[in-house]
Amino acid sequence: MAEVFLASRNRKKVEEMERILAAHLPGVRVLGLDDVAAYDEPVEDEPTFEGNALLKARAGLAATGLPSVADDSGICVDALNGMPGVLSARWAGPPKSDARNNELLLAQLADVPDERRTAHFRCAVAFVHPGGEVVVEGRMPGRVIREVRGEGGFGYDVLFVADDRPGLTTAELSREEKDAISHRGKAMRELGPVVAATLA
């Protein structure tokens, strides 16, 4: 069975990647951080999504010996000059909390009119294996609404309505609907054939 390592503890991300990769490589197994021996994870101190993704994927390959994938993603809000950006997961400070991050973002945008609440999710996914490195990027444009809605997804999904699915937050979409339009889905579909060809 082909195995690839995803440098993440987020089970939803692991499952999402396995679903997308399985379309190119049936039976592929994606292992997350909780499935391998613990190692010192690098501090995500790069100023770009690409830099952080490469940092994590290189560390994953070094620690596990498996071809490794890592992503760095976040929401970039136009009215906040592209922030939170690479700081999205840590926007409200430690400890990491989706709820606190969402509360802070809503507070920061409280006086911003609806037409200026445009934003996009951005994702860089790095694939590092003994033969080389590849980085791809995906984007999902949309806007930040004024209240939390939905039970699915994670992070800022409860506040984000994608241009491709107006009326619903990405937390209200089915997994398949979200995969079809999401920044990570787009990047993973682009990367899928590369990973499959390398593992085959």
Give the mean pLDDT of the chain: 94
Q: Which residues are annotated as a binding site for Mg(2+)?
A: 72
Indicate whether 20 pLDDT > 90. no
**Residue 22's pLDDT is what?**
86
Each domain of the chain, given as residue ranges in start order, spans 3-199
Highest averaged pLDDT of the listed ranges 152-156, 162-166, 189-193? 162-166
Q: Which residues are annotated as a binding site for substrate?
A: 8-13, 73, 154-157, 178, 183-184
Q: Please state which of the four CATH numbers 3.40.50.920, 3.65.10.10, 3.90.950.10, 3.40.630.30 is assigned to the domain occupying 3-199.
A: 3.90.950.10
Indicate whether 31 pLDDT > 90. yes
Q: CB within 8 A of 46, min separation 6: which ones? A: 52, 54, 55, 86
Indicate whether 92 pLDDT > 90. yes
Active site residues: 72
**Residue 23's pLDDT is what?**
85
Indicate whether 58 pLDDT > 90. yes
What residues are paired with 135 via a beta bridge? Answer: 126
Instruction: Kindly list the distances between the CA atom of residue 50 and the CA atoms of 86, 99, 122, 133, in Å, as whole numbers in the listed order.
Output: 10, 26, 10, 12
**Residue 179's pLDDT is what?**
85
Mean pLDDT in residue range 54-82: 97
- Percent of residues, the chain, with pLDDT higher than 90: 78
Q: Which residue has the higher pLDDT, 48 or 176?
A: 48
Indicate whether 197 pLDDT > 90. no
Mean pLDDT in residue range 148-171: 95
Summarize pLDDT for 119-133 with one digit per residue, the tens: 999 999 999 999 999
How far, in Å, CA of 142 to CA of 13, rounded?
A: 21
- Contact by Cβ (8 Å): 97, 86: no
**Residue 24's pLDDT is what?**
83
Instruction: Kindly list the distances between the CA atom of residue 148 and the CA atoms of 65, 99, 156, in Å, as whole numbers in the listed order.
Output: 41, 9, 9
Indicate whether 157 pLDDT > 80. yes
Q: Which residues are annotated as a binding site?
A: 8-13, 72-73, 154-157, 178, 183-184
Summarize pLDDT for 34-57 with one digit per residue, the tens: 999 999 999 999 999 999 999 999
